[in-house]
Amino acid sequence: MEVSININGTQQTHDVEPRTLLVQYIREHAGLTGTNIGCDTSSCGACSIHLNGEAVKSCTILAAQADGEEIKTIEGMADADGTLHPMQQAFMENHGLQCGYCTPGMVMAATSLLDENPNPSEEDVRLGLEGNLCRCTGYHNIVKSVLAAASV
Amino acid sequence: MTVIDNQTASNESIAAGNGVVGQRILRKEDPVLLTGEAVYTNDMVVPGALYMAVLRSPHAHATISSIDTSAALALPGVHSVYTGADMADQWAAPMPCAWPVTDDMKNPAHYPLAISKVAYVGDGVACVLAETDSIAHDAIELIDVNYDVHSAVIDLESALSDNVVIHDELGTNASYTWPLLIEENDGDCQKAIDEAAFVVSERYVQQRLIPMAMEPRAVVAMPQPFGGDMTLYSATQVPHILKVMTALTLGIPEHQLRVVCPAVGGGFGSKLDVYAEELLCVQLARTLKVPVRWNEERSENALATVHGRGQIQDIELAADADGRLTGMRVRLTADMGAYLQLVTPGIPLFGAFLYAGVYKLPKAYDFSCTGVFTTMTPTDAYRGAGRPEATYAIEHAMDALARKVGIDPLELRRRNFIPKESYPYEAFTGLVYDSGDHDKAASIAESLLDYAGLRARQDEQNIPGSTKRLGVGVSTYFEMCGLAPSRVLASLNYSAGGWESATVRVLPTSKIQVVTGTAPHGQGHETAWSMIAADRFGVDPADVDVLHSDTAIAPLGLDTYGSRSLPVGGVALTMACDKVIDKARQIAAHQMEANEEDLEFSGGTFRVAGSPDREMPLAAIAFEAFTAHNLPEGLEPNLEAQVTYDPPNFSWPFGTHMCAVEIDTETGNVELLQYVAVDDCGNKVNPLIVDGQVHGGVVQGIGQALYEEARYDDDGNLQSSTLAEYLVPAASDVPPITLGESVTPSPGNPLGVKGVGEAGTIGAAPCVMNAVVDALSGLGVQDIQMPASPLNVWNAIQQAQANHQETNQ
Amino acid sequence: MIPAQFDYVRAESAEEAISLIGQHGDEAKFIAGGHSLLPLMKLRLAQPSVLVDIGRLSDLSYIREDGDHIAIGAMTRHMDVETSDVLKQHAPLLAHAAGHVGDPQVRHRGTIGGSIAHSDSASDLPATTLAMGATYVAKGPNGTREIAAGDFFEGFLTTALAPDEMLTEIRVPKMNGAGWSFQKFNRRAQDWAIVGVAAWRNGTESGVGLVNMDSVPVLATSVSAAIASGASIEDAAAEAAAQADPTGDLNASVEYRQHLARVLTKRALTIASS
């Protein structure tokens, strides 16, 4: 079936199997491999993207369900001139990443969190990231990064 | 919640050049990782590749009676299907175990696909190659396998009874018994126990853990059909070891094999291995002359990638009337799983030398470990590999001893510390600990936690009837890092060395290229190695590039594991830098017509002492070395040096962790209120990275203490095979971590560094469990099995209350 | 990770959805947010042959006052339930419980109707709406009917909905200032409850719903009966597990679940009574 999605401001149309997950669509059809897959139970959040401006787990949505919608992936966060999004910059400055595999999902979840709660407490940040797992950082510097981005 | 520290890093205001080591420099790895630009193995676009999917055994222990692949083969898009029997004659050797710990160790032949018998749920039975990943997965469901099912072997002690033997050809489930008896005179250990004022006998179970690196494994094998070369891309932490082992296992000429790790999303030991899927992809790509790729799914990872821990520890401490250790006996039963992977049998041996922790122990030590086969996923290295287990046992037993002696656990530890004046200290094992200041690390932690204050609060809070009990936990540790002096490895029967290689070259335009044999997968070596070279040369770290993780670019190396990269690879780099600088000095002296001894080198420029106008920058020397128009007689062109460094000793990071927990006795819930870690890893190259390593390590230790467990049912099915059941903690489940600063340089290497990758994990599990038991000991709870889940805690409280009532009747 | 093959059709109206599901028979399933169904399909534990997507039925996404109750369209997302001012005012227990479903990403997609129709007893909203005395509205080929929450949950993942019926609306009575509490006990914030308790109390009237205490969400009527007869909270909470038949799993034994139900009910009623 044909699925047409606006990805990072560009309309893309691809012929896919109905069972194609949105994350597969993004990675394999749109060729944007920044969005990672870390689990098969919607637990880890590595595949988080924005669907119509809100963080969702792209492994738990069919590409068909997103037909006609707008999505943003990690590739759409930095400016074309190379300036990082404030959240990306905050992760860099606070060492909020190590291996980087959970990072795109963390950044997408964290920006969505700040959209909904621009002045979160530390506890708000920890709870707001409950759906994103990281095995490297112990979360300490991720939380610090998000709080820093909130204060920008 | 505790306020997060406000130390921030920046690349502004930091002087480049000499002195850059020790500063909080932002990571150069980050921009590609933050923007999605990084390429992990599964991100690679490989035209014409066939996708492999592996059919895995649903039974823990069974004989394969028949396999029908016809329906799978008939599925459109399927290229081919292979069973273990189909491929049996294609292996030059079974899958490698590089650590035959004893001469009589039993090691069953282990092939990438099981040939006649499966030995764990997840054992590969057949594989499909198809045009897409989806079709490959559809096809494996169509393979019809008949099994003759045997009993699973899950329990370690009943495995040793050999009632059900897993590998018939071995005749037993015991792989080996490895003893380490250290006594001045025969019988000293028993004598110490007989004569002790206090004896503590404890049994601890190190539950099986699943490493769960966020990136599952992935493989791409790319053949060059006519040229004959083969490139293996793999999400591995050991490209060099993988290359040698793949060449040997498949009979590929090693010089025609290249191994590349693209970006690797964490490893924690689980990617320190040679896996069936790597061998299958290479072999099939070689025979079919097309690229073959495989990517692991998470629930597949839980079955097909090694697990960690899995030990029963029986520990006996003997102590005098003051609580000073006089002897120790340890009996380990270690779960090998179904087969021996790369270093499976050696993991408990790493711990064997650490059971006395940071304490003085006379030569009255009797250790023995028996490795046992079970019908579960093979175990192997997982963050700390043997050392967290040993540290847990001694630190948890020290708390038991403190309760017996009737003194504060911190005081008991202080009485037993090796005093800092004794360093370098020759331990009971004969190993020499390089440096340590345990009282300092403990004192810093004590004050950061407000230990005394918490003890006072505990007296007020833990009153009869209270449903919120406070517990305080202490743990110290010594870690054996910097793996390793090759001669020591030889004495342990390890089949490889422990050296590391570094090459440094100054390019014609004076940019510096560092080639390292370490293989980072999140640790930030590109940044840290740049800093080391920049510091040595007096240049900006941005002018240094670090090449790694590709055996064609960095042909020599022994990779990244065991907190070895900095104390071995970083030191090799330092030495290579110095070699290049020596050569540059010869060129500078020649060009400036000065004596080499009169040249000073700083800020990237050679100056003649006493003649400030006579100077030559590295850039000029680099170009001279490149053109070779005017070099000293006999000196080779170019500025390049390679060093292979074999460390003379291990390095010995140490530290103290403390924490406070509050336990809801009605539900059994453990809340971690506060966590303090003081990890002394010697000099720090980049404190920002060091802190990050400790944070992450601590949370993995907390994971073992409170959340994680690979649970099998009696039939050998893994019940926690997804991230919904295997509880990797999230941000909302752990507290912020307060770090204390203690720096005791290692005298053993020119950087004074020790290594830090595993430290946090080693200290954390015993620290948390000591706090949990501390909170509940007033209720009569003696111990709690890890993880201290609400269920386990609640059960322990119920049991203690039942015992209490029984005693009162 | 990859679901088995299926056909996908998107419904543009509830009527069309019902007609489509009727055409495709037993092997067809509705998909709304997909956060209950897709995880099962990815592990190939569910393999429907046709998915009828009802996620675009935006006319079924609403929260509005309707006399003595609040009417919530089945396609209303958890996040919208959680943040609804109407619900915060008139049915704060439900808004609060919706904030505990999954994680923020799940709440951005998952719908209240999907959660209730899937009827996993470990989910938060079936037991919560049951405790509140909700009524569910189902639409079928022959029109709509109302089903009391108490009659809806029939067994493990089975409900009173006919195969060609679709849940369209959830009606929860206004709480009229009743005290309430939602106690979710789990090991990680994102996890399903090991045991959860949704409770409200208004004088001698109360409702207590139990999460993950049986193959179906449980209404602990004996607790409410005890409260009605003037029993203390402690004594009433002691009845919490009386009507439940829990099973054991990795996180809980049967006995522990029963114990947790009593402890959490006591805590919930204490808060709801204050």
Range C28-55 average pLDDT: 94
The upper half-sphere exposure of residue C172, i.e. CA atoms within 13 Å in the direction of its Cβ, equals 31
pLDDT of residue B808: 67
Q: How many helices (H) and strands (E) does chain C have?
A: 12, 14
Homologous superfamily of A86-150: [2Fe-2S]-binding domain (1.10.150.120)
Highest CATH level, class, for A2-74: alpha beta
Contacts of B634 (CB under 8 A, 6+ apart): none
Distance CA B53, CA B219 (A): 12
The percentage of chain C sitting over the pLDDT mark of 90, rounded to a whole number, equals 97
pLDDT of residue B809: 61
Q: In chain B, which residues have their Cβ closer than 8 Å to the Cβ of A98? A: 266, 522-524, 692, 696
Contact status, residue B289 vs residue B282, Cβ threshold 8 Å: no
Which one-letter DSSP state was computed for residue C79? H
Closest CA to B485 of B676, B223, B748: B748
Give me the CATH topology for the region C58-173: 3.30.465
Contact status, residue A133 vs residue A45, Cβ threshold 8 Å: yes
Q: Count of CB atoms within 10 A of residue B701's CB?
A: 32
Q: Tokens representing A126?
A: 């920890």
**What CA–CA distances, in Å, run from B798 to B464, B493, C252, C260?**
15, 47, 14, 13
Question: Which subunits have 3 or more CB–CB pairs within 8 Å of chain B?
Answer: A, C
Contacts across the A-B interface (CB distance below 8 Å): 190
Q: Which residues of chain A have pLDDT under 50?
A: none
Contact status, residue C29 vs residue C7, Cβ threshold 8 Å: no
pLDDT of B405 strictly over 50 = yes
Residue ranges per domain, chain A? 2-74, 86-150
CATH architecture type of domain B42-150+212-304: Alpha-Beta Complex (3.90)
- For CATH 3.30.365.10, list the domain ranges present in chain B: 308-483+649-808, 499-645
A48-51 vs A70-72, strand pairing mode? antiparallel
Range B679-688 average pLDDT: 97
CA angle B338, B340, B342 (to 5 degrees): 140
Contact status, residue B202 vs residue B785, Cβ threshold 8 Å: no
C139: β partners: C144, C166
pLDDT of C27 strictly over 80 = yes
Tell me the per-residue pLDDT of C121-138, one tens digit each, with 9 for 90 and over: 999 999 999 999 999 999
Question: Which subunits have 3 or more CB–CB pairs within 8 Å of chain C?
Answer: A, B
Q: In chain A, which residues have their Cβ closer than 8 Å to the Cβ of B216? A: 38
* Partner residue opposite A38 with nearest CB, options B35, B214, B694: B214
B767: β partners: none
pLDDT-based confidence at residue B4 (cuts at 50, 70, 90):
very low
Question: Which residue carries 């080639």 as its tokens?
Answer: B515
pLDDT of B3 strictly over 50 = no
**What CA–CA distances, in Å, run from C69 to C60, C133, C224?**
17, 10, 21
Q: In chain B, which residues have their Cβ closer than 8 Å to the Cβ of A129? A: 730-732
CB contact under 8 Å between C103 and A112, yes or no, is: no
C274 or A134: which leads in pLDDT: A134
Q: Is the dihedral of CA B472, B476, B482, B486 positive or negative?
A: negative
Tell me the per-residue pLDDT of B421-474, one tens digit each, with 9 for 90 and over: 999 999 999 999 999 999 999 999 999 999 999 999 999 999 999 999 999 999
Highest CATH level, class, for B308-483+649-808: alpha beta
The percentage of chain B sitting over the pLDDT mark of 70, rounded to a whole number, equals 98
Integer distance in angstroms from the first to the last C-alpha of chain B? 44
Tell me the per-residue pLDDT of B224-261, one tens digit each, with 9 for 90 and over: 999 999 999 999 999 999 999 999 999 999 999 999 99
Candidates B54, B132, B667, B789: best to mutate against C (most CBs of C within 10 A) is B667
Q: Buried b / exposed e across B351-389, counting CB within 10 Å, b at 16+?
A: bbbbbbbbbbbbbbbbbbbbbbbbbbbbbbbbbbbbbbb
Candidates A140, A143, A144, A152: best to mutate against B (most CBs of B within 10 A) is A140
Range B30-34 average pLDDT: 98
How far is the alpha carbon of A83 from chain C, nearest alpha carbon, in Å?
A: 27
pLDDT of C144 strictly over 90 = yes
Question: Which residue carries 């079955």 as its tokens?
Answer: B303
pLDDT of B2 strictly over 50 = no
Q: In chain A, which residues have their Cβ closer than 8 Å to the Cβ of C79? A: 54
* Partner residue opposite A18 with nearest CB, options C8, C38, C109: C8
pLDDT of B747 strictly over 80 = yes
CATH architecture type of domain B499-645: 2-Layer Sandwich (3.30)
- For CATH 3.30.43.10, list the domain ranges present in chain C: 7-53
Tell me the per-residue pLDDT of B580-598, one tens digit each, with 9 for 90 and over: 999 999 999 999 999 999 9
Tell me the per-residue pLDDT of B490-545, one tens digit each, with 9 for 90 and over: 999 999 999 999 999 999 999 999 999 999 999 999 999 999 999 999 999 999 99
Q: Count of CB atoms within 10 A of residue B622's CB?
A: 23
Window 700-719 of B: residues touching A by CB (8 A cutoff) are 700
CB contact under 8 Å between A55 and C108, yes or no, is: yes
Q: Count of CB atoms within 10 A of residue B110's CB?
A: 19
CB contact under 8 Å between B725 and C250, yes or no, is: yes
CB contact under 8 Å between B1 and A123, yes or no, is: yes
Range B63-80 average pLDDT: 98
Contacts of B86 (CB under 8 A, 6+ apart): none
Which one-letter DSSP state was computed for residue B256? G
**Stretch (H or E) spanning B398:** helix B387-405
- For CATH 3.90.1170.50, list the domain ranges present in chain B: 42-150+212-304
Sheet holding C195-202, edge to edge: C179-185, C195-202, C205-211, C218-219
Determine the CATH number of domain C7-53. Answer: 3.30.43.10
Highest CATH level, class, for C183-273: alpha beta
